[in-house]
Structure 1
Amino acid sequence: MTETEKGQPVVVRRARSHKPKREENAEAKFNALLHAASEIVGEHGYVDASISRITERAGVAQGTFYSYFESRQDLFDQLLPKLGAEMLAFIKERTRGVTDVSERERKGFMAFFDFIVQNPDFLRILNEAEQLAPKGHEAHFQLVVAGYLANLHRDWARGEYPGYEERELEVIVYMLLAARSYLALRYAKDKDGIRPIPGWVTDTYMKFITYGLKGESQNP
């Protein structure tokens, strides 16, 4: 409760969801299955992520599974794009309002590694998807590349990256995404799970982004 100027209590009521109860329950079960699949694939890999394991972890009957997915493969192909969308939303929130391109890249880089610490199953889901969930893998990369490339196009249009042609921006995006993936495998993943990436690795990444292989500013 809050109080008016006269000291009378005012009851603050929560806004009710506009979704029917049945629709809310269906969405909750759908999300529970995806969350369970994320954990099971993270623990056992796609090959051993059976429907029975997933439904048991989600707390639903096996028959319920087919109300939401046509097959186990259908779930797998939806899993990575769903996690990818969550990752992009996480990074977007961390970089909101940042206009300096170098600072945005630093914050985005750090946000990616914070995300995988909070979602330790993500790397295995991503790395196995190319072979075992190819539709999901392709959809994920289309989504991630499109968002990254849109930012670089906006930067380029206002005069950033003067040494590059517009067609080269996509090459840069793939280089930066590859860097994150391989740095994660080397510096974030260990036998105990996913750990925060060392600060000096972020500094090295940004040094390379800013100055290139020469390691120094090319300005006179």
Structure 2
Amino acid sequence: MKYSPKTKRGEESLNKILNAAIAVIAEKGFNDASIDEITSRAGVSHGLFYFYFNNKDELLVELIKRINKDMRHYLTLSTSGLSDRVSIEKRGFEAFFDWMYNNQYLYKILIEAESNNIEIYKWHYMKLSERYSMRLLDAMNKGEIVRYDPEVLSFVLMGIADFIAKRYILWVNDRIPKYVINEVNRILERILSPKCNC
């Protein structure tokens, strides 16, 4: 992004562009989303778009950074107050499913990034893993969960959450059924239990 707004009015204008971009890209895909349609839907001029971004690629990078921050913030708030890691994981999975159900447009932007800007797509998951791994390692050191390589475990857990959410939310536009959440919880207990002889 070329410029970060310094005023409330500037922040509102930027948010109009970003919100319009989310809607257009989620509906049409990144390649078919035009700057014309984004600015028209946002109710702003082309000049204002180019004040903030050089091109659509820069816009996509900013969207992914904001999605990443929003998701991490939501998960942190949703698991605050819990003390043991297995409980945090269970609640965190449910919170991720809730976030994804309520933000399907945002998740579709992330999918678009995979084929249009692999570097920002990789950044998103590496950023999630970086913080996740630290928390998992802390839980391992406290004896709350079994010891694995924390980065490997972070990607295993993210993979489970990601594909369960795709299966039920993105592919059929429904909430995760309770029996599926119960099964996921059983799996988490099994692979995380410090008593596991894996």
Task: Report the TM-score range of the alignment, normalised by the length of the smaller protein.
Answer: 0.7 to 0.9
Percent identity, aligned pairs only, is: 29
**What does residue 160 of structure 2 align with?**
179
Q: CA deviation at 1:142?
A: 2.3
Provide, for residues 117-161 of structure 1, a one-character-per-residue CA deviation record: whole Å limited to 9, x for no partner. Answer: 211212221222122022321221122112211211221222233
TM-score (norm 1): 0.80
For residues 200 and 71 of structure 1, what CA distance do their matches in structure 2 show?
45
Task: Quickly say closer, same or farther: Cα 1:160–1:53, change in 2 above 3 A.
Answer: same
One of 107, 131, 140 as aligned partner of 2:115 = 131
Give the helix-richer structure, 1 or 2. Answer: 2
Secondary structure in 1 matching 2:167:
helix
**What does residue 143 of structure 1 align with?**
127
The size of the alignment, in residue pairs, is 190
Which runs of no fewer than 5 residues in structure 1 stay unpaired? 1-20
For residues 183 and 156 of structure 1, what CA distance do their matches in structure 2 show?
25
Paired AA for residue 31 in structure 1: N
Paired AA for residue 166 in structure 2: L
Which runs of no fewer than 5 residues in structure 2 stay unpaired? none
**Cα RMSD for the two superposed structures:** 2.0
Structure number with larger C-alpha Rg? 1
Provide, for residues 39-82 of structure 1, a one-character-per-residue CA deviation record: whole Å limited to 9, x for no partner. Answer: 11111111111111111121111111011111111101221121
TM-score (norm 2): 0.88
> In the alignment, is residue 82 of structure 1 matched against residue 66 of structure 2?
yes
> In the alignment, is residue 45 of structure 1 matched against residue 29 of structure 2?
yes
Task: Quickly say closer, same or farther: Cα 1:62–1:207, change in 2 above 3 A.
Answer: same
**What does residue 176 of structure 2 align with?**
197
Q: Is contact 1:42–1:125 with CA below 8 Å preserved after alignment?
A: yes
For residues 184 and 71 of structure 2, what CA distance do their matches in structure 1 show?
20
Q: CA deviation at 1:22?
A: 6.5
Q: Is contact 1:41–1:125 with CA below 8 Å preserved after alignment?
A: yes
> In the alignment, is residue 68 of structure 1 matched against residue 52 of structure 2?
yes
Task: Quickly say closer, same or farther: Cα 1:81–1:25, change in 2 above 3 A.
Answer: same
> In the alignment, is residue 210 of structure 1 matched against residue 195 of structure 2?
no
For residues 72 and 135 of structure 2, what CA distance do their matches in structure 1 show?
13
Q: Is contact 2:168–2:176 with CA below 8 Å preserved after alignment?
A: yes
One of 13, 16, 37 as aligned partner of 1:32 = 16
Higher relative contact order (CA 8 A, sep 6+): 2
